[in-house]
Amino acid sequence: MKVLKTTARCMAFIVAMAASISTTAFANTKNSLGLWLEGGASSFLDNMDQTKNAFGGGGAFGVGYELQHKRFLFNLGVEFQYASTSITMNPITEGPINMIDDDPMNTPDLRRYNGYFEFVKRNDIANLGTVNIPVMFGGKFNNFYFLVGAKVGAQMMTSSKVKAEVKHTGEYLAFIDPFQNMPNHYFSTNNVESNPNSAFFFGTIDVKAALELGYAFGNPKNVAQYRLGVFADYGILNANVGVKNNSFVTLPQGNDLQYQQVFNAIQQSSNHIYSTNLAQGKNVNTLFAGVKFTIWFRLPSKTDCRCEF
């Protein structure tokens, strides 16, 4: 609800400003209100050793005002952008952990072992909802156009999820080789899916360098004009700010821990990598690129010749 109210207020401001500007007379100038939809790929660019790559997808919708004076373009608008990005991790091992198996045939001394839990395949998923204010400048040459500028964004909603394959192995003092691939003793690989309780924390304000170019079409005599293009938004500021005091995973403390205790803790306490102390002091930049479709509606103006420059 807060996101919708903020977006609605920004849209109302854009419409009021456009209506005011459109009453000002400039020769060879037209004023337009527009609506757009975006869809594409999202990613994070970081300098962390534990991450391999980040890839996902998302979309956006927005409304804005455009002033065109001959070939010059100026755009101002507001948009809501939502993206879900999955970060693939390098293998990380937690251990040794003082554990004991539940084999009743052996004495406690023979049942104790050092347990290791390796996150073989792990994806940390981040969902971000952002309200952006794009300010763009560019040009239009016949049917081709380009825009460059910046977008100031405010993070309005965040959530995260951790998915992993966890491999359990054990080292017994009475045996030389490690125990693995023995499901009857819980030495196996199992899937984990965790919805962290810890907040996924990014900076509340993000400044993005923005680029858009494409093709414009539609009859100049009509009110509605259309554009189809490609875009790219790159976060200039380091998004990874704030307190990073969560552990990668919170394991139970003590001796003679059983497998199910440890596995349940992993299931419940795996935190997104960007909310942990492993991300302390690291850089994270956002990237969103894809396809954009826009409809522009010309506002009434005495100076609009309904022609292309």
Residue 61 has what pLDDT? 96
**CA distance to 140, 144, 227, per residue, from 307 (Å):** 13, 15, 16
pLDDT along the chain (309 residues), means of 10: 53 53 59 95 91 91 93 95 92 89 76 90 89 96 94 88 91 86 88 71 82 91 92 91 72 87 87 84 91 93 61
pLDDT (0 to 100) of residue 83: 94
Rounded to 5°, the CA angle 185-191-195 comes to: 130
Q: What's the pLDDT score for residue 12?
A: 55
In the chain, domain spans: 2-298
Reported pTM? 0.81
What pLDDT is stored for residue 146 in this prediction? 97
Q: How far apart are CA 56 and CA 42, in angstroms?
A: 5
Report the pLDDT value the prediction gives residue 4, as an integer from 0 to 100: 47
Query: What is the structure's pLDDT at 232?
Result: 97
**DSSP code string of 244-301:** --B-SB-PPPSSSB-HHHHHHHHHHHBPPGGGBGGGTT--EEEEEEEEEEEEEEEPP-
Q: What's the Cα-to-Cα distance from 175 to each of 10, 103, 114, 170, 172, rounded to whole Å?
A: 68, 16, 12, 10, 5
Q: What is the pLDDT of residue 3?
A: 45
